[in-house]
Amino acid sequence: MITTSTTRSARATLPLTIDPEHARQLVALDGTGPWPHRAAAELAREGTIVVVTLGASSNPSLDTRELDGQAGRIILDAPWSNSPALEPTREALQSLGESHLDVQIRIPAEDPMTVRLWGALLTLDALEPLTELRLDAAGEHNLLARATNAAGREIALTVVRSAGSSPQMRLRALSETGRVELILPDERIARPARLIVDRGAVRTDEELPWETPSRTAWRRARALLDADHPAAADLDRLRHLQNLFQRWNSPSEPRA
């Protein structure tokens, strides 16, 4: 049986149609090694848009100064960070008002923590810009941190690595008037995100449009070729987080 869910999942994985003229302006880079240097070389060609995929061996903290003046032409393909679910979640959080945000990241034990942590932070910064990061504890299998965003919302961040688990990012905001919860599943599988909004008398639980991160990245890159489209903010957001990382405190005693 073909359902709305299966149709949505199929559509989310369909390849994008890009004409040959535009295809010549789009460049894919693996975000390993000195990717900023390689991106700068590609961007030397006028009109080029570069998509950088941050994978397991990527180092998001590399110096990107040689990309000065070109930031708006770079798209970052990172876990969760440009999910279509973020816009309705942002609206729900704004309507919730003052609240505390609890964020839990689940990572398989065989996956490195770095890239998914950066993906989660890029996601949080896309919802509402972060203004402070504080590392409370870090160990081989977990990390505890706190953050504050521009809306004054306090954020508790927990990252846990465990054998046999699937990647997941879960955000839960609580206030005196209600609750907003977003569940972002493993971005590699055809499963929609869930947004739960509970205001006491009214509760909604909906599945949101799903799309692979790579398809989202290339769709956004294609849109940048339109003359009137706003520049991308991905690299600016990454640099902002790099600055916050430089200021965050040293962890306390490691946790096993």
How does DSSP assign 109-144, residue by residue? TTS-HHHHHHHHHHHHHHHS-EEEEEEEEE-SSEEE
Low-confidence residues in the chain, pLDDT < 70? 1-17, 19, 190, 248-256
Q: Which two tokens stand for residue 212?
A: 């692979």
Cross-strand bridge partners of residue 206: 195
- Could you tell me the end-to-end alpha-carbon distance of the chain, in angstroms, rounded to an integer? 47
Q: Which two tokens stand for residue 138?
A: 């870090």
Q: What is the pTM of this model?
A: 0.81
The confidence score (pLDDT) of residue 201 equals 81
The confidence score (pLDDT) of residue 183 equals 94
Q: What tens digit of pLDDT does each residue of 174-205 get? A: 988 899 999 998 877 767 899 999 987 889 99
Residue 30 CA to residue 184 CA, distance in Å, equals 24
To which residue do tokens 């199929």 refer?
A: 10
Residue 136 CA to residue 126 CA, distance in Å, equals 23
The confidence score (pLDDT) of residue 16 equals 65
Instruction: Express as a percent the part of the chain with pLDDT over 90.
Output: 38
To which residue do tokens 């490195």 refer?
A: 112
Task: Count CA atoms within 13 Å of residue 140 on its CB side.
Answer: 4
Q: Which two tokens stand for residue 96?
A: 């919730």
Phi, psi of 154 (to 5 degrees): -80, 135
